[in-house]
Structure 1
Amino acid sequence: MTTALFPDLVVNGEVVPHAVVAAEVQNHSAPKGKPGIAWRKAANAIAMRTLLLQEARRRGIATEPAEVGPGRFETGEEALIRGLLDAAVAAERPTEDEIRAEWARDPSRFRAPPLWEVSHILCACDPRDAAEKEAALARARALLADLAAHPGAFARLAASHSDCGSKSSGGALGQLGPGDTVPEFETVLRGLEEGETTAEPVLSRHGWHIIRMDAVATGAVLPFETVRPKIAAALEKAAWAREARSFAERLLASAEISGADLRGA
């Protein structure tokens, strides 16, 4: 049913069922109590998808769904849109001068992965269990208070109270690099200075952590030849994205759409 809040979506005379837009709404955020915002975002996404599918069918595109993961395949519509973009969008590969200029803008952006020497105290819990989570947090905060009063007691407290096997080495985890820990733990490591301990317990899927950064080895700047393929791929991807946007804008310029507003989207 059409309402001012949820109007019918019509793309070049094709009426898109409300159920299609409603199914897309879950993929878009909006402030609490303002469902119209999420609906408009969903309508814009579906309008663009419908427009691309119309163009693919107009051109007679026929593309088989590709495997996108172990046992997972594209939908028929996803395959059509991919086939359309493969046929309609082409981006020139960056020149050697462009690749080198991008590197020269700031070579320090291209570094080897860092190494962190880390110690921690784990107060284990199942974060899905509210009572267990709160009890473990209380333990972790009490340990932090003890550390504030006795800054040199980290290893002793870890040996006595940590729920991690590293307690046998005073909480020391040794050297870690990107990908060696759970993401929420690594995010904290990236923000800690050498010698710094987290001011508040850090929650991961394993429980609450008190983390100390014992040493940091910043990765060395990599030479141009090492990072050249990565820079070339990034520049080509950016160029393709610009061409794809230009193609979409051309489709929009000649389209008749109601129930969505794709200007600037």
Structure 2
Amino acid sequence: MVRINQVELPEDEINLESAYVEGGGIDERNREAARRLAVRELLRQRADELGYATEGRTEAAVEEVLEAEVRVPEADEEACRRYFDANRERFRTPEELELRHILLAAAPDDPHERTRQRDAAEALVGELQTDPGRFPELARTRSACPSAEEGGHLGLIGRGQTVPELEEVVMRLPVGLAERPVETRYGFHVVEVLGRSGGEPLAYEDVRHLIADYLRERGWRRAVSQYVRLLAARAEIEGVDLEAADSPLVQ
């Protein structure tokens, strides 16, 4: 049972809300759903206290409360510049690789086949180190990827365009044949980076507005979280933990 200042949250509403919670088991989703609804109820009750009409317009009333009582300082030039200087590696033009590969497929739940294909992939790397020109031929005859018909050529690959475990490795590789196969959920990839483009540093003036938007949004989330903890500290709450704050935000 979840109760906020003597107002009980219906279990069927918690179950319905849990359908919108991503990840975790049933119990975890239900706990998160209860937390979300408890926060909403706290804010609804605060709207009633302040005289905002909530009947049939709870979401609008909650927005009015937050606008009235949560204050977030603007991200000034000093804060934006400081964030830029501390995170320069994040501010680059999109990086792309021209890539080709040979996939030796192995199911993730077949350890024997994965060992066999790993050994075969390592042997292919050895062959290609001796004779790099054979890559297209070996891709056509050995690769389990549709790109085999193109000699293993995948074209230009940017972030988010391939499986994360392959991306994580190839984005850090120098141009040339990788010294060892790359393991993914699909098996083992013999990869060669044919070229790189992008990745040039961006000037502060080009990203200042993005940084300001990010800092403003981050500040808003923090302020709302602190405000909710304040309301929770003053409320009678059962069945859910809202991490009540010790110090007041709104007088």
Distance (whole Å) between structure 1 residues aligned to residue 54 and residue 192 of structure 2? 55
1:261 to 238, 241, 244: 241
Alignment of 1:27-176 (within 5 A): 27=21, 35=27, 40-58=31-49, 59-61=51-53, 81-122=62-103, 140-141=117-118, 143-152=120-129, 154-176=135-157
Unaligned runs of 5+ in 2: 246-251
| Letter matched to residue 60 of structure 1 | Y
Q: 1:149 to 1:82 in 2, by over 3 A?
A: same
| Amino acid of the structure 2 residue aligned with 1:105 | A
Between the aligned partners of 2:59 and 2:168, the Cα distance in structure 1 is 33
Q: How big is each residue's C-alpha offset from its partner over 1:202-239, in whole Å with a ceiling of 9 and x where there is no partner?
A: 23xxx556151414456111111111111111111122
* TM-score for both structures, normalised by structure 2: 0.71
Which residue pairs with 1:73 in the alignment?
none
The count of corresponding residues between Structure 1 and Structure 2 is: 237
Identity rate, percent:
29
1:196 to 167, 178, 182: 178
Aligned to 2:6: 13
Give the Cα–Cα distance (whole angstroms) in 1 for the partners of residues 105 and 174 of structure 2. 25
How many Å separate the matches in 1 of 2:172 and 2:207? 25
- Structure 2 CA distance for partners of 1:113 and 1:51, relative to 1, 3 Å: same
Conserved 8 A contact 2:181-2:188: no
- Quick one: structure 1 residues 41 and 173, their matched pair in 2 at CA, closer, same or farther if it must change by over 3 Å? closer
Aligned Cα root-mean-square deviation (Å): 4.0
Contact 1:56 1:84 in 2 (8 A): yes
Structure 1 spans left out of the alignment, 5+ residues = 1-7, 65-75
Residues 136 and 151 (structure 1), Cα distance of their counterparts in 2 relative to 1, 3 Å cut = same
* Deviation, structure 1 residue 15: 1.4
SS of the residue corresponding to residue 150 of structure 1 reads helix
Question: How much does 1:255 deviate?
Answer: 0.8
Q: CA deviation at 1:119?
A: 1.0
Question: CA offsets per residue over residues 73-96 of structure 1, 9 Å max, x none?
Answer: xxx765654454344434232112
